[in-house]
């Protein structure tokens, strides 16, 4: 029969082996993930510092981007209400798709992303700093404010 000290030694060895295996696995996984996520940029994607100013927006363009975002959101909401109405009243109408508005929002997000990237690389404050990514930031649900109990 083994003593308590022997059990403690076996447990400590097993724990050390598990930690070593996890560390080795993490290092291997990190290398695999880095290789999987990396790709060479396509020839049209190679960007020099001379190309970056063309990615920045003027104040009027930033205002136009914000207006595009708002109009697309209104269109999506309107189409959702129309689809809801057709279902509620059991109308024999096909649902209306919001694909075009969603694609436009993705294109707008790409423009905002390029502008932020260019401004960061050039070390300047972007005009479109107040613009939000439509899919993640602009449509965040607003929390209702609870009245404070007296």
Instruction: Name the pLDDT band for 143 (thresholds 50, 70, 90).
Output: very low
Instruction: Name the pLDDT band for 146 (thresholds 50, 70, 90).
Output: low
Written as six digits, the tokens of 42 are 């396509």
The domain segmentation of the chain, as residue ranges, is 1-38, 46-138
Tokens 């899919």 correspond to: 135
Instruction: Name the pLDDT band for 137 (thresholds 50, 70, 90).
Output: low
> Residues 102-124: pLDDT tens digits?
888 888 888 888 888 888 888 88
In the prediction, which pLDDT does 57 show? 87
3-state secondary structure of 42: coil
Written as six digits, the tokens of 116 are 């932020």
Name the nearest CA neighbour of 138 among 75, 72, 80.
Answer: 72
Sign of CA dihedral 41, 46, 52, 56: negative
Widest Cα–Cα separation across the chain: 83
In the prediction, which pLDDT does 140 show? 47
**What is the pTM assigned to this prediction?**
0.57
* Mean pLDDT, rounded, of the chain: 77
Instruction: Name the pLDDT band for 33 (thresholds 50, 70, 90).
Output: low
Residues 80 and 97: their CA atoms lie apart, in Å, by: 9
Neighbours of 115 (CB within 10 A): 22
Angle at 56 between CA 109 and CA 68, to 5 degrees: 40
Q: What is the mean pLDDT of residues 15-26?
A: 75
């Amino acid at each position: 029969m083994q003593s308590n000290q022997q059990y403690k030694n076996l447990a400590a060895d097993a724990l050390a082996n598990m930690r070593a295996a996890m560390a080795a696995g993490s290092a291997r996984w990190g290398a695999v993930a880095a290789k999987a996520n990396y790709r060479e940029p396509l020839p049209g994607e190679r960007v020099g510092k001379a190309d970056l100013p063309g990615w920045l927006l003027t104040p009027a363009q930033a205002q136009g981007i914000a207006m595009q975002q708002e109009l697309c959101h209104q269109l999506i909401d309107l189409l959702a209400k129309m689809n809801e109405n057709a279902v509620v009243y059991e109308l024999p109408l096909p649902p209306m798709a919001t694909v075009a508005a969603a694609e436009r929002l993705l294109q707008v997000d790409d423009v905002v992303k390029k502008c932020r990237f260019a401004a960061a690389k050039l070390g300047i404050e972007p005009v479109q700093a107040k613009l939000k990514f439509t899919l993640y930031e602009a449509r965040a649900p607003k929390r209702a404010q609870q009245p404070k109990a007296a």
